[in-house]
Amino acid sequence: MALTFEHVTLGQRVLFGAGQAAENLVAEVARFNAKRVMVIASGAGAQVAADVSSGIQVAVNYADVAAHVPIEKAEKARAAAAGHQIDLLVSIGGGSTTGLAKAVAMTSGLPIVAVPTTYAGSEATNVWGLTEASRKTTGIDDWVLPATVIYDAALTLSLPVDLSVASGLNSMAHCIDSMWAPRSDPINQALAAEGIRALSHGLPRIVEEPQDLGGREQALYGAYLSAVAFASAGSGMHHKICHVLGGTWNMPHAQTHATVLPYVLAFNAPQAPDAAVRIADSFGSDDSVAGLNRLRTAVNAPKALKNYGFAEKNIPEAVELILPVIPASNPRKVTPANLTELLTAAWAGTIPVI
């Protein structure tokens, strides 16, 4: 069968090197000829942000960061950027920090230099998300794509092992969803497969030896690949589920993705055999779900939505909210009954199998 597809590769500068974040940031600020820099970092990440930005002049340090980017937080940050006549945004931290920078860039057109300290992957996508009245809205806008990403595995050394695992499995979800998302194509499938391989090698090394830079570099590399694949392929069933759960019930982003992932894979894999084989191969397994389950056991992955604030009584409402946003291209038809079954299993933490 002849290959026919349309693929878009987003333009972005990537600087990768352990221990080089501060000097790379100096070079990027100079390259942009920026005079008024706004550094966005959470209060918990203030020291890391101070270290990374020690070589540049900072007009304002901004720390009012929250998960899922509440609209009121976005408006406040936008006002701060305008009030300080900012000409460059620097985000240092995880997905929430990057997300807030994106919210500012979306309305201002300001460039972003992203310095991730987790494996979220948001830094390599043109996807934004905002939450208002307990409803999370996502969209695509090239204005929000960071112009530069500075990866430094040394910045992830302080990330606790459990959060490293959850964050890495969030990236794994980008990879797996990219195999059957609405704009999936052979290029982003290849990127996703390599991302799965890198993450499946890196995460166990982090668990076994948290200070192993090699394992953290593999996880960062995999996170970048996952995000590039996701930005091209679009948001599939897994992400639609998690965006609803996170935005409506304010659930922790990474842990929610890490928990839901195996259930979506088990749901879709039988109806997407080519993708399932590719995923299995990337795990070094004969079966995609077994390969993911084996990795999850090795890294003691998050297991049940009930452990992260989601109540069983909320499943009917979740089904009602999720069903309309499931992509029509999903390999398996999603119904109220089978979605209820999936969410019930994810809530309870039963081991998913095909």
- Tens digits of residue pLDDT in 156-191: 999 999 999 999 999 999 999 999 999 999 999 999
- pLDDT by residue (tens digit) across 187-242? 999 999 999 999 999 999 999 999 999 999 999 999 999 999 999 999 999 999 99
Would you state the pLDDT for residue 2?
Answer: 80
Q: Going by DSSP bridges, is the β-strand pair 37-40/60-62 parallel, antiparallel, or unpaired? A: parallel
The pLDDT tens digits for 73-93 are: 999 999 999 999 999 999 999
What pLDDT is attached to residue 354?
Answer: 79
What are the CA-CA distances from residue 70 to residues 139, 183, 246 (Å)?
15, 28, 12
User: For residues 16 and 191, what is the distance between their CA atoms, to the nearest angstrom?
Assistant: 17
pLDDT at residue 289 in the model: 97
What is the predicted pLDDT for the residue at 134? 84
Cβ burial of 5 (10 Å; 0-12, 13-18, 19+) is exposed
Annotate 111-165 with DSSP letters as a single string.
Answer: -EEEEESSS--GGG--EEEEEETTEEEEEE-GGGS-SEEEE-GGGGTTS-HHHHH
CA distance 75 to 207: 38
Q: Are 112 and 99 in contact (CB under 8 A)?
A: no
Of all residues in the chain, the percent with pLDDT exceeding 70 is: 100
The pLDDT value recorded for residue 1 is: 57
Q: Domains in the chain, ordered, with CATH?
A: 13-156 (3.40.50.1970), 161-348 (1.20.1090.10)
Q: Identify the pLDDT of residue 9.
A: 86
